[in-house]
Amino acid sequence: MFKIKVRTDKKSYPVYLGQGIMESIGPVMSRCLPARPVLVVSDRNVAPHYAEKCLKSLQLGGFKPFLEVLEGGEEDKSLMAASGLYERLLKTGLDRHSAIVALGGGVIGDLAGFVAATYLRGVPYVQVPTTLLAMVDSSIGGKVAVNHPLGKNLIGAFYQPALVVGDVDALKTLPGRELNAGLAELVKYGIIRDKKLFEQLESLIQSVPPEDWLLKIDSRQLLKFIIRAVLIKGEIVYFDEKEKNLRRILNFGHTFGHALESATRYAYYLHGEAVACGMAMEARLAALQEILDRVSQQRIISLIKQLDLPRPPAGLSVNAVMKALSYDKKKEGEELIFVLPAGIGKVLMYKAPSSSLVEKVVEEYLRGDLF
Ligand SMILES: NC(=O)c1ccc[n+]([C@@H]2O[C@H](COP(=O)([O-])OP(=O)(O)OC[C@H]3O[C@@H](n4cnc5c(N)ncnc54)[C@H](O)[C@@H]3O)[C@@H](O)[C@H]2O)c1
């Protein structure tokens, strides 16, 4: 089992990563939290595989666990679902000396973390990520949120977990499409911060067809990639917990990615898929703006092409994507901000690129010319 310490100004916490460590959650948790009642929040795809294991282990660690299984999916990241959890916590009699365990992907982690941040002005919570995306990204760094009908993640807080326990073996039951979406997040870390990671992923992905890369990849190798990503995220969060500066580089791929998600009403792409398309588009924009050399642009786009992403949806217009871009919440005044690659392993913040070039990139993507 590997242990990585994530530090912020006011708090530091361990992230445990390994194979088959779900069985150890209880004993591991008892090193950070005294025995107490715990509400385990999960969803209907994850609970049948892992809830029993998790509950047994919590009992072994001296905790008194209760289980709440939600439907899952983005609709559950809502104030209504949060309210249901408050009710369950209150009715079960869980007080300030209790804790919450988020057993699931980013949806469960964001929701349960939000409830932990607000229930009785805050109770500790533990992230047990079961998707690749959640292991390398959403479980680390304390961004917790629910959606509002007017936009995603608009109601939330920065609230760090007490610990994170990521078991790579949990990825064995994850659907292939979800895995690829998580793999896109790993590629993102390579592009923004770690050329060696990018190159390792390049040789892995190009040698194995995307539909079965995880079956062929050695779990230990995957664990190494996850550890690398968590170290990078931890370092970024250490320098900029509240996303005032450095943490914004994690938004690489997100300006175009969010516009694609929003223009398709969050019903066509998985989040990681939209970000992956956004990364290819932002690499192309960087090359058009002469920030990125053509060879690096090609390498980034060809790696992303291997991720088996959905085709641009029929009927999605350039205008619809441009309109969605104009509502981007990362805008400063009227100006769009992009995180653009300046090489592999290096990105910069770029304000107000030429709107004709932005439109050209959207056209190329929608025509299928980009990849
Ligand atoms: N807080 C952050 O910093 C941050 C960062 C990135 C993304 N996010 C958020 O994360 C969410 C997306 O997270 P996600 O991609 O993990 O999606 P998710 O939580 O919806 O999980 C994806 C699907 O896989 C299923 N699943 C999860 N683990 C499984 C397993 N081991 N076996 C079988 N099925 C499993 C889930 O039930 C769900 O159907 C979005 O809401 C996004 O906004 C948050």
Assess whether 271 carries a catalytic annotation. yes
pLDDT at 35 > cutoff 90: no
Tell me the average pLDDT across 193-213: 84
| 336-366: pLDDT as tens digits | 899 999 999 999 999 988 999 999 999 999 9
pLDDT at 328 > cutoff 90: no
Indicate which residue of 36, 77, 143, 228 is catalytic.
143
Q: What is the pTM of this model?
A: 0.95
Cα separation, 309 vs 177, in Å, equals 9
Between the CA of 147 and the centroid of ligand 1 the distance, in Å, is: 14
Q: Which atom of ligand 1 is found nearest the CA of 153?
A: 43
Q: Which atom of ligand 1 is found nearest the CA of 170?
A: 31
Cα separation, 271 vs 360, in Å, equals 23
Tell me the average pLDDT across 176-201: 95
Assess whether 147 carries a catalytic annotation. no
Q: What is the mean pLDDT of the chain?
A: 94
Indicate which residue of 254, 261, 282, 284 is catalytic.
254
Contacts 24+ apart (CB under 8 A), 240-246: 241/8, 241/9, 241/141, 241/142, 241/158, 242/158, 243/143
List domains and CATH numbers for the chain.
2-173 (3.40.50.1970), 176-367 (1.20.1090.10)
Tell me the average pLDDT across 171-180: 91
* pLDDT value of position 214: 63
Nearest to 22 by CA among 170, 226, 179: 170
Cα separation, 86 vs 146, in Å, equals 14
Establish whether residue 153 lines the binding site of ligand 1, counting it when its CB lies within 6 angstroms of any ligand atom.
yes
* pLDDT value of position 210: 65
Cα separation, 96 vs 200, in Å, equals 45
Q: Is 363 exposed, middle or buried (0-12, 13-18, 19+ CB in 10 A)?
A: middle
